[in-house]
Structure formats: structure tokens, C-alpha cells
């Protein structure tokens, strides 16, 4: 299936926001879309089996039309189940499908998917083939540079070559290996050293493949530097913790001439969305738990965060109060 690869299919996705459990839900993605109109957004990882056998598929699949372009990430190891999940993703309107071979959590690995699957490239290839053969969407893969002691360039290259032959359209490589015994997921995000040079060597060995780098990326200037060597960059924890520090994505990465929004402008522009969410039975904390990350590095930021967090957790936050408190940020916002 190597001939089906298109190195131009996803070139416009120069920057993507990594799928992160308990972080990249549809509310956070709406906030990010106010910051960047171009960055590729991801769902949290969805276990394909849970989706296929659920009687509440909307809960897994639902997203707002403003979120495009958006990729749905699946975890799993059963090609037959992934076949059904691929059809659902296409029918629901996603722009692409990503397959998770990078998550190091014990719960995920005990289900024989996530990073542990890197030890079985043939099974991964069958999963990619099943996804590719049952939808018309680009199918991409997110993986580590290796697992445990198996992290040589030869091993990584052999893995990527096999998956490329199965039809993967893009490889998002977290430039750390996963240590499955002895480290928890948080430690696996920090303790194994970043090895950008190994991913550069992989790209040099496979110039025709679309290879995106992930891990430890902290600002748009670093992204621009990495884009000299790679087809794309994926940003994770930094963009979740400090979203407004990434307000120049469209200008710097995509060359769009526009003025960045301030935090107060972003929050106030989301008021209709919050009101709609409340009318559907949601609560303000669903959204405010993400919004609080916008307000930092300015006077009275802590007061705003504490007020909004406390009231929304208690379900006591009124929209008028949110608007009033946010409007007071405007004189100190930038």
C-alpha cells in the first residue's frame, strides 16, 4: 500500500494540539479554536471497543462544527473493531483518524494497546490497514521512538517502514521512548530523555514520509526551528497549561496577518457557547476548568482564577458575574 502515501495530504497541518486525556475535550478545543483557526485539533483517546459497543455513541463522537480541522484518536488492537470505528468517524464528519501507539499507561498497555503495541509492528500494520480500507479519511499514527530497551534507530526505522507499507499517511513521533515498567504516565512524559536527533535521522532515512515531531516543545519559535527538519510539530502540555502564550500560531506558523485576541476577548467571545452548554444541562466548570489557564501573568490573575473556579465548582457561577469579572481584565490584558 506504499503507493497510496501522499506527502502533501496533510502538509497544511504544520502544527497540531496533542490528544491529552482529561484535557482536550470539545470545550478546550473550542477555546483553542479562538486562538488558532488553523492548528489541527485532536480528541482525547477513544477506546475503539468502548465506542463500537456503546449505546451512547454521541457521547464519544460529538464535536462542534467550529472545531475543524479535527482528528479523532483511537486506541485498540482489534482490526475488526477498528473497521467499525473508522466508519463511524467518517460518518460523523471527522477530518482524519489517528491511531495511538504511544500511550504508556499501565491500564492502556494491559489492554494490549498504546505504547506496548510498538513491540508488535505486524499487529499495528493490520490495524492501520483496517482503518485505511474502511474509510476515505487520512489515517495517521502517534508513537514513541521505542519501548523499554528497544529504542535503536534500526528498530524505529523498521517499525515506521512496516507501518508506512500498511498505508499510514503521517507519523507523529514523540521523541522519548516509553518505559512500561517502573514509570507512570506522568514520569514517561519527563524522565526518558528527548532524542530529537533520532527523529531527524528517521526523517533523513525516509524523506518521502510525512513525519511530525512531538515532545518538549515550548513556544512557536521552537516550532519554526523544528519545521526546518520536520513536516509538522505537535504540542501538548505547554499549550494546555499556557494557551495564550501560543496566540501567535496563525501569524508565525501559517503566515496569517491578524491581531491576536486577548484573554478577555477570548473568554467573552465564548459566552454564547457557555450559555448553550448550560441550556443543554451542562455546568460552567466543564468549560471554566480550561478557561482558568488563559488568565495568568497579569495583575489580579489569581483572584480571577480563584473566583471563577470556586463558584463554578459549586455551580454558583452566574454568566453576568463571569462577564463582569472578565471585563475588568481588559485594562490589564494584552
**What does the alpha-carbon distance between residue 233 and residue 220 come to, in Å, rounded to a whole number?**
10
Q: Environment class of residue 131 by beta-carbon count within 10 Å: exposed (0-12), middle (13-18) or buried (19+)?
A: buried
H-assigned helices in the chain:
26-35, 48-52, 57-61, 79-92, 106-110, 121-133, 153-166, 185-188, 196-205, 220-226, 237-241, 249-252, 263-269, 271-279, 285-291, 301-313, 319-327
Q: Which three cell numbers stand for residue 44?
A: 482525547
The number of angstroms, rounded, from the C-alpha of 118 to the middle of its chain's C-alpha atoms is 20
Q: Which three cell numbers stand for residue 271?
A: 459566552
Residue whose C-alpha is closest to residue 124's, from 90, 153, 174, 158: 158
Q: Rounded to whole angstroms, what are the CA distances from 299 to 159, 292, 295?
A: 50, 14, 10
**What does the alpha-carbon distance between residue 8 and residue 282 come to, in Å, rounded to a whole number?**
40
Q: What pairing do the DSSP bridges indicate for beta strands 46-47 and 41-42?
A: unpaired
Q: Environment class of residue 146 by beta-carbon count within 10 Å: exposed (0-12), middle (13-18) or buried (19+)?
A: buried
The number of angstroms, rounded, from the C-alpha of 226 to the middle of its chain's C-alpha atoms is 18
Residue tagged active-site, from 23, 103, 135, 223: 103
Diameter over CA atoms, the chain: 59
Q: Is 288 a catalytic residue?
A: no
Q: Which three cell numbers stand for residue 263?
A: 484573554
**What does the alpha-carbon distance between residue 108 and residue 86 come to, in Å, rounded to a whole number?**
20
Catalytic center residues = 103
Amino acid at each position: 500500500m506504499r503507493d497510496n502515501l501522499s506527502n502533501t495530504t496533510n502538509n497544511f497541518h504544520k502544527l497540531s494540539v496533542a490528544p491529552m486525556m482529561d484535557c482536550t475535550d470539545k470545550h478546550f478545543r473550542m477555546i483553542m479554536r479562538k486562538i488558532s483557526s488553523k492548528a489541527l485539533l485532536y480528541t482525547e483517546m477513544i477506546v475503539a471497543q468502548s465506542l463500537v459497543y456503546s449505546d451512547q455513541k454521541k457521547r464519544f463522537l460529538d464535536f462542534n462544527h467550529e472545531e475543524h480541522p479535527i482528528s479523532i484518536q483511537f486506541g485498540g488492537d482489534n482490526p475488526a473493531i477498528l473497521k467499525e470505528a473508522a466508519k463511524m468517524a467518517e460518518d460523523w464528519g471527522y477530518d482524519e483518524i489517528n491511531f495511538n501507539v504511544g500511550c504508556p499507561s499501565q491500564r492502556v498497555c494491559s489492554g494490549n494497546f498504546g505504547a506496548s503495541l510498538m513491540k508488535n509492528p505486524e499487529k499495528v500494520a493490520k490495524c492501520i490497514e483496517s482503518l485505511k480500507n474502511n474509510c476515505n479519511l487520512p489515517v495517521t499514527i502517534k508513537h514513541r521512538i521505542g519501548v523499554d530497551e528497544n529504542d535503536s534507530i534500526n528498530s524505529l526505522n523498521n517499525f515506521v517502514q512496516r507501518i508506512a507499507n500498511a498505508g499510514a499517511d503521517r507519523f507523529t513521533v514523540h521523541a522519548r521512548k516509553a518505559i512500561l515498567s517502573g514509570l507512570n504516565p506522568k514520569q514517561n512524559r519527563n524522565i526518558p530523555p528527548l532524542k530529537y536527533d533520532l527523529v531527524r535521522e528517521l526523517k533523513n532515512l525516509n524523506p518521502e514520509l510525512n513525519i511530525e515531531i512531538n515532545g518538549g516543545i515550548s513556544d512557536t519559535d521552537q516550532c519554526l526551528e523544528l519545521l526546518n527538519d520536520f513536516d509538522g510539530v505537535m504540542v501538548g502540555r505547554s499549550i494546555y497549561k499556557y494557551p495564550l502564550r501560543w496566540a501567535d500560531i496563525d501569524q508565525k506558523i501559517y503566515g496569517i496577518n491578524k491581531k491576536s485576541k486577548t484573554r478577555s476577548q477570548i473568554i467573552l467571545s465564548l459566552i454564547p457557547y457557555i450559555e448553550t452548554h448550560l441550556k443543554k444541562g451542562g455546568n460552567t466548570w466543564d468549560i471554566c476548568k480550561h478557561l482558568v489557564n488563559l488568565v495568568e501573568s497579569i495583575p489580579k490573575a489569581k483572584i480571577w482564577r480563584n473566583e471563577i473556579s470556586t463558584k463554578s465548582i459549586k455551580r454558583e457561577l452566574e454568566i453576568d458575574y463571569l462577564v463582569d469579572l472578565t471585563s475588568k481584565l481588559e485594562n490589564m490584558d494584552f
